[in-house]
């Protein structure tokens, strides 16, 4: 069974950084892309970026460029999402997603449970 | 403002059929595969349709997808109250080198 288990809820102050982890099991970590998607209150799903765990290649959404960093530790079968310069607009639930499609085919069939990030002073 | 355009809301009675549209451009829908998701806040989104028309195992055939030119459509037949949720289309945008989501459509089963 494919599972993606994310780290727990986070509370951060504005202008700080958060790191969310996503531990996968049930498949070969380096064989499939990991994407990150968030949903803020009252907003829709927003794609943040993708990581190829096999080689560390990344693509980021323009709206997060410079603030988000996606990495992976293949020895731990874990992906990470760092988001910096946090503002209250970053308050959202963040999801890691395994895509069984190619880089341009979003077959997002396995999702993490979500991590709530609250940014508040 | 989303790259893909969806109606903010749709509604229909139980047992009826509803369609949700997703309009894009040649940079995205026109030349790439569309996926559809259902999302209830507090739960993980669920893949309903991939590669325009395919259903993952476990998704009933009440859900179907189609694509024509730069638009895609999700159809749901035999509506149930349990279908109430937000629905999103998604596709790769070659101009942006990014996955883009539609703004989402709230489905109400009256």
Q: Is the pLDDT of residue A9 over 90?
A: yes
Give me the pLDDT at residue B41, please. 87
pLDDT digits (tens, 9 = 90+) for A57-110: 999 999 998 899 999 999 999 999 999 999 999 999 999 999 998 889 999 999
* B40 contacts chain A (CB < 8 A): no
More confident residue, A15 or B2: A15
Task: Find chain B residues with C-beta within 8 A of A101's C-beta.
Answer: 33, 50-51
Give me the pLDDT at residue B4, please. 97
A36 conformational bin, left if phi > 0, alpha if psi -120 to 50, beta if neither = beta
Averaged pLDDT of chain A? 96
**What are the tokens at A114?**
């979500």
Interchain CB distance below 8 Å, B32 and A101: no
Q: In whole angstroms, give the CA distance from residue B71 to residue A36.
A: 25
Interchain CB distance below 8 Å, A47 and B91: no
Q: In whole angstroms, give the CA distance from residue B3 to residue B29.
A: 10
CA angle, residues B90, A82, B91, in degrees to nearest 5: 10
> Which are the contacts of A72, defined by CB distance < 8 A and separation ≥ 6?
A29, A34, A51, A53, A56, A78, A79, A80
Nearest to A109 among B56, B97, B100 (CB): B56
């Amino acid at each position: 069974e494919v599972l993606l288990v994310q780290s727990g809820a986070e509370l951060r102050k504005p202008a700080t950084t958060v790191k969310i982890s996503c531990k996968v099991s049930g498949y070969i970590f380096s064989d499939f892309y990991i994407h990150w998607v968030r949903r803020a209150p009252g907003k829709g799903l927003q794609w943040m970026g993708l990581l190829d765990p096999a080689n560390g290649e990344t693509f980021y959404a323009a709206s997060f460029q410079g603030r988000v960093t996606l990495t992976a530790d293949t020895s731990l079968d874990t992906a990470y999402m760092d988001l910096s310069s946090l503002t209250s607009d970053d308050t959202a639930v963040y999801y890691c997603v395994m895509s069984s499609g190619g880089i341009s085919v979003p077959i997002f069939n396995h999702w993490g449970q979500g991590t709530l990030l609250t940014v508040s002073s | 403002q989303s790259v893909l355009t969806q109606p903010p809301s749709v509604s229909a009675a139980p047992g009826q059929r509803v369609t949700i549209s997703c309009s894009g451009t040649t940079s995205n829908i026109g030349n790439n595969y569309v996926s559809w998701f259902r999302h209830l806040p507090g739960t993980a989104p669920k893949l309903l349709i991939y590669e325009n028309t395919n259903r993952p195992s476990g998704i009933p055939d009440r859900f179907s997808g189609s694509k024509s030119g730069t638009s895609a459509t999700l159809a749901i037949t035999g509506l149930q109250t349990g279908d109430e949720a937000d629905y999103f289309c998604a596709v790769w945008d070659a101009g942006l080198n990014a996955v883009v989501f539609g703004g989402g459509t709230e489905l109400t089963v009256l």
